[in-house]
Structure 1
Amino acid sequence: MKILAIESSGLTASVAVMTTEDLIGEYTLNCKKTHSQTLMPLIEQLNKDIDLTLKDIDAIAISEGPGSFTGLRIGAATAKGLAFSLNIPILSVSSIDGLANNILCEHSIICPIMDAKRNQIYTALYKREKGQLNKITDSKVIDIETLIEELKTYDQQVTFNGDGVEVYKEIIEQSSLLSVFAPKNLMKQKASSIGDLALSDYGLVKKVKANDFVPVYLRKSQAEREYEQRIKNND
């Protein structure tokens, strides 16, 4: 099986082509360009460099969210358009699961944290056993102080990654947690981590038709929240 993996849930734009045996190629950009500027050019350049046509792809693996509302919509539109035109399925993977899959450590709680703004983060907790990534809590939106208190109950080392580390690292370090932080090459989203989960299928993947795929936001967008507040204020 050969898949194209797309990750657009954060600032990082990443695409990869993988098989069940190997990572054939991966391009990742962490810059201020929008995903509408980068995703398709990255896909086209990657396919060109590995002498691959889109007709060789058996499925599209996509980070479903949570994350940036704009990034997720662009990623979803790209994946749905390709999958529909090629008549292939979409393999939907949580962006938090993908971040956790960057970490191979088996003696630590794995805790990705994505900045959700408004003093909150998107997160879930994981353990890796015999190479397999196991999710031990549901994905959720939570504030960092509540998360730290939850982590203390495990009384174990915690490995953090994700863009939330940049925002909350000092708070984590000042807590009594035994915490470590992923190196820079494992800190941000990677399409290959999404693709690896899609191919390994540890029960963390949903297979859907192109028309049925929808991003997972976990909470309403700022525009929706502001609209509801205006309606409430006018009542």
Structure 2
Amino acid sequence: MLLLCPPGVYRAESDTELLIDVTRGGGFARGRNVLDVGTGCGALALAAARSGAATVTAVDLSLRSVVTTWLNSRVHGARVAVHRGDLFDPVAGRRFGLVMANPPYVPAASSRLPRHAMGRCWDAGPDGRALIDRICAGVQHVLAPDGDVLLVHSAVCDVDLTLAALDRAGLVARVAATATVPFGPVMRARAAMLESRGLIRPGQREEELVVVRARHA
């Protein structure tokens, strides 16, 4: 599926593809109200719509991403409601049968998150968990009683921390899928920094992508 993706908007990569495969393979979107948090170019939202979702809502803090997702949904004839805002703020008070998220998760040199540069698509603080932890802490408030959360990130960010964070939020979580892929340009450029922090092995130039599934206990 060809998608518009102007500079400054996250382009669908291997992590997005893995999450889409899990969603389609498990029939997670079919007949459900779906929320795509941090939608980027809208790839996850459009995949959910094509997989038979009852409704699809997409949220992103970036105005450019919001406009891009809106355009892509119209070009492909998908009914997607797009909102600008911080994570779950635009949908406060609503509940969704499926919450999907592919947040920024690349460890960065600084704890300061970029607001306007391309780095906002992947920078997530020194350990890569700045957005992951916020999603884990807040997702239960927008998740329907019988709903599912599907969250993808790199094992560099420590999947055990994600499982523990979701457990603290009252959810039962497990690893639903994994895939090993070569480092992309950003990870390659930061390999020395990641090695110095002990986040990867010396000489490691591939990462494991992990999809975590969570439900209410």
Structure label with greater radius of gyration: 1
Higher relative contact order (CA 8 A, sep 6+): 1
TM-score, scaled relative to structure 2: 0.34
TM-score, scaled relative to structure 1: 0.32
